[in-house]
A = this chain, B = another copy of it.
């Protein structure tokens, strides 16, 4: 029974009409086929279990209906939330999403862009912050420009550091957060700043410092939960009354480390993060953070690519129990 898929030709034959008529009834633009034929075709298609061959369609039409999404790590809630938005918006436009993971490797990212280019997606969405002074940056930009000049649209979710349409993720909210914490009575801050050359991490750390009367202690590390844990584990807490991690997963890792060290949070030191991932409200104490409209950003990226302007909610400080008033 390993039949292979029925083709449009099979359907046409079964329905007793021409290939063209079958095509028009099934996929072609509106109302150009006599109802009787159309119905016969539909019936034949159903009977044979026909599904259109998207590849053949793409070749014939000279383009696909897919959006390619490139993320750093799909298991990270930051990206999976963005992905959810991209998929939701894409589906509502009848587009299918193909996805790849860079693992924050710039070289790998370029290879993946090339591979995804091969799919001829309509839209290519790049989520995930870039590293400063990346030698391969020019190659990446060249690849993306080639994609656009061949008719594709690229959209970046994150910072405005690539010359393409971008859905901006607001990192300046860290300044407002810093001010809020100062207002609550905190004075001596440590910042778990992530990688020194990751644009997002750098921007957030800088924005946070900008909201402070005096410079914080800065600790670098990776951008992950485990790095947050490690940094907080080794942190010299002397005189520190609040820790700001440049993203929530680090902040949550840090809270775990402090707990394991026997440090009272928020009694001895307060903790704050950035992103407002879903679990931020479920850790104990619930995590103060800056809410980012990530799902919306994902959805906005495909709308932007389609030429539909849409505005994002702002990034708002969310004060929770991890930073009570002093």
A interface residue count range (under 10 / 10 to 19 / 20 to 34 / 35 or more): 35 or more
A284 at the interface (CB under 8 A from B): yes
Contact B225 A278 (CB under 8 A): yes
Measured in the bound complex, the distance between the Cα atoms of B151 and A81 in whole Å is 34
Using A52-B118, A75-B77, A150-B3 as known contacts, say yes or no to A66 and B98 having CB atoms under 8 A apart: yes
Given the known interface contacts A49-B146, A77-B77, the answer about A253 and B282 at a Cβ–Cβ threshold of 8 Å is yes
Q: In the complex the two chains form, is A81's CB within 8 Å of B75's CB? A: yes
Q: Contacts of A74 on B, CB cut-off 8 Å? A: 74, 80, 83-84, 87
Kindly report how many copies of this chain are found in the complex they form together: 2
Asked whether, in the complex, the Cβ of A53 is within 8 Å of the Cβ of B49, the reply is no
Q: Is A268's CB within 8 Å of the partner chain B?
A: no
Query: Does A122 have its Cβ within 8 Å of any Cβ on chain B?
Result: no
Within 8 A of B (CB), among A63-101: 64, 66, 73-75, 77, 80-81, 83-84, 87-88, 91, 96-101
How many angstroms from the CA of A80 to the CA of B99 in the assembled complex? Answer: 12
* CB–CB A87/B114 < 8 A: no
A155 at the interface (CB under 8 A from B): no
A64 x B55 contact (CB < 8 A): yes
The answer to the question of A259 belonging to the interface, with a C-beta cut-off of 8 Å to chain B, is yes
By a beta-carbon cutoff of 8 Å, the part of chain A in contact with chain B is: 1-5, 49, 51-56, 58-59, 64, 66, 73-75, 77, 80-81, 83-84, 87-88, 91, 96-101, 114-120, 142, 146, 149-151, 225, 252-253, 255-256, 259, 278-279, 281-286, 295
Task: Sample 22 A-B pairs with CB under 8 A, ordered by A number.
Answer: A3-B150, A5-B120, A52-B118, A53-B118, A54-B55, A54-B118, A54-B119, A54-B120, A55-B58, A55-B119, A74-B80, A74-B84, A75-B81, A96-B98, A97-B98, A98-B99, A225-B278, A252-B282, A255-B282, A256-B282, A259-B284, A283-B283
3 A-B pairs closest in CB distance: A55-B58, A80-B80, A284-B284
